[in-house]
Amino acid sequence: MTDTNHPAGVLAPDGPPPVPEGASQADGGRAEADPGTAAWDVAAIRVQFPILSREVHGRPLVYLDSAASSQQPLRVLRRVARYEREQHANVHRGVHQLSTEATEAYEDARLAVATHAGAADPAEIVFTRGTTEAVNLVASSWGGAFIGADDDIVLTKMEHHSNLVPWQLLAARTGCRLHFVDVTADGTLDLDDLDRLLERRPRLVAFTHVSNSLGTINPVREIVSRAHAAGALALVDGAQAAPHLLTDVARLGCDFYAFSGHKMCGPTGVGALWARRELLEAMPPYQGGGEMISEVKLEGSSWAKVPHKFEAGTPNISGVVGFGEAARFLASLGREAIASHEGALTRYALERLGAIEGLRLFGPMRERTSVFSFTYGDVHPHDLSTILDQRGIAIRAGHHCNQPLMDHYDISGTARASLYVYSTAEEIDALCDGLAMAAEVFRGIS
């Protein structure tokens, strides 16, 4: 199964990844790609990330945990600092100069984030605390208004808890039924199982664009079109896709798309929900308070227009400003160039990790991103992570908020290394050397 809605045919085993369709559209002319950086110069990129020059336990940091949180370039750090030092005020409320500047910065970030998502209308971008809050917003608002006890919702067994627990809460409130698309042995979604579940005529299919544990790139357009044909809406969890792939919501055809700033070179505590405007307009507010109203009387209130209807209270202004700058930073690198760099590194990592005896790699070999989950003999992933940390190598260990997926594979967790724009082949070598050393240590004590 192939899906051309991303540039990461990445992981076609030979040759460079195909040029993504719609690449120039993703930049939208609003956050232009810089042709000067077309040839990937990873050293020039790394110097823009001050944290990468620090040492950990006396060793140069090898940061292989970008799927959890990526690092921030100077450009983002400086933009946030400038906002805090020179422009800080509340947004949308004041007529004084600072408030005007803060509001402009905030709305300008909405434009950059909309461009990143391929959304033609910035009003379709609702700022949230992250992917988690974006999914909760839909489950609470859309789900609360339109889902009842007779309804079915289809999820998958590879969902992050963020795209699972909010639906469990909705099911507990409404009595609706949840169903889960199975995962095949190679870590892809079983689309025959999807078809079987679609015969129930569910109201929603909610699934991840990219698995945070397996790296699997799901065929979004295909799933969305099957969901629509069955009368369901489609929500896509884009947390692991927005940083790496072209996220052109118009091409993907979905109804909701959720993503986080901190996985795409932005600050923590900020993310976005993109949704089709008519859906946002039909949905009731998620939270009540200031900013989201048009008029308030003691007897009742009316709502502001979208997206403000969903942004109650003073938002995370500096976070949003940093998020927008991160989107522009990625556009300046070029989304195709990012995919190409990561594609080459992914091929290298798969080759090197695949050659290590006793290492079990999860997820498909093609149509995948640069996240590598593995077990290594019977060494506990936490022990592996601790040993690697002593060598300055940061990887993740545990269930990665994918407990049902871990159950599916009958494991308690994995070690996970993940790459990004600043990652290098030397870092993959360092990981493999660290694993070899860990093998020695555990041979010694077993």
Minimum Å gap between C-beta 191 and ligand PLP is 19
Q: Which is nearer to ligand PLP, 118 or 271 (CB)?
A: 271
Residue type, 195: D
CB 239 → ligand PLP: shortest distance, Å? 3
- Of 73 and 238, the one with the shorter C-beta distance to ligand PLP is 238
240 binds ligand PLP (CB under 6 A): yes
Residue 29 burial class via C-beta count within 10 angstroms: exposed 0-12, middle 13-18, buried 19 and up: exposed
Q: Which stretch binds ligand PLP (CB under 6 A): 232-240, 242-250, 294-302, 329-337?
A: 232-240
Q: Which stretch binds ligand PLP (CB under 6 A): 48-56, 214-222, 226-234, 237-245?
A: 237-245
Q: Should residue 65 be labelled a site residue for ligand PLP when binding is judged by CB under 6 A?
A: no
Categorise residue 323: left if φ over 0, alpha if ψ from -120 to 50, beta otherwise: alpha
User: In the set 27, 65, 152, 237, which binds ligand PLP (CB under 6 A)?
Assistant: 237
Q: How far is the CB of 101 from ligand PLP (least distance, A)?
A: 28
401 catalytic per annotation: yes
Does 247 sit near ligand PLP (CB under 6 A)?
no
Q: Residue count of the chain, please give it.
A: 446
Member of 70, 140, 212, 370 binding ligand PLP (CB under 6 A): 212
* Closest by Cα among 440, 424, 437 to 389: 437
Least CB distance to ligand PLP at residue 49 (A): 19
Which one among 147, 170, 239, 406 touches ligand PLP, defined by CB under 6 A? 239
Q: Does 385 bind ligand PLP (CB under 6 A)?
A: no
Binding marks (x or -) toward ligand PLP, 117..146, rule CB under 6 A?
-------------xxx--------------
Q: In this complex, which beta carbon is closest to ligand PLP, that of residue 130 or of residue 381?
A: 130
The least CB distance from residue 117 to ligand PLP, in Å, is: 15
Nearer to ligand PLP, 20 or 215 (CB): 215
Residue among 8 and 387 whose Cβ is closer to ligand PLP: 8
Radius of gyration of the chain measured on its C-alpha atoms = 22
Q: Is 208 in the site for ligand PLP (CB under 6 A)?
A: yes
Least distance between ligand PLP and beta carbon 234 (Å)? 16
Q: Which residue has the tokens 């719609």?
A: 22
The interface mask with ligand PLP, positions 146-175, x = CB under 6 A, is --------------x-xx------------
Residues 71-110, one symbol each (x = binds ligand PLP by CB under 6 A, - = not), give ----------------------------------------
Catalytic-labelled residue, pool 176, 265, 401, 432: 401
Q: Are strands 293-297 and 300-303 parallel, antiparallel or unpaired?
A: antiparallel
Q: How far is the CB of 401 from ligand PLP (least distance, A)?
A: 6
Instruction: Determine if the peptide bond prior to 18 is cis (ω within 30°).
Output: no
Q: How far is the CB of 128 from ligand PLP (least distance, A)?
A: 8
Binding test (CB under 6 A) with ligand PLP, winner from 9, 219, 271, 324: 271
- Active site positions, annotated: 401
* Interaction site with ligand PLP (CB under 6 A): 130-132, 160, 162-163, 208, 212, 237, 239-240, 260, 271
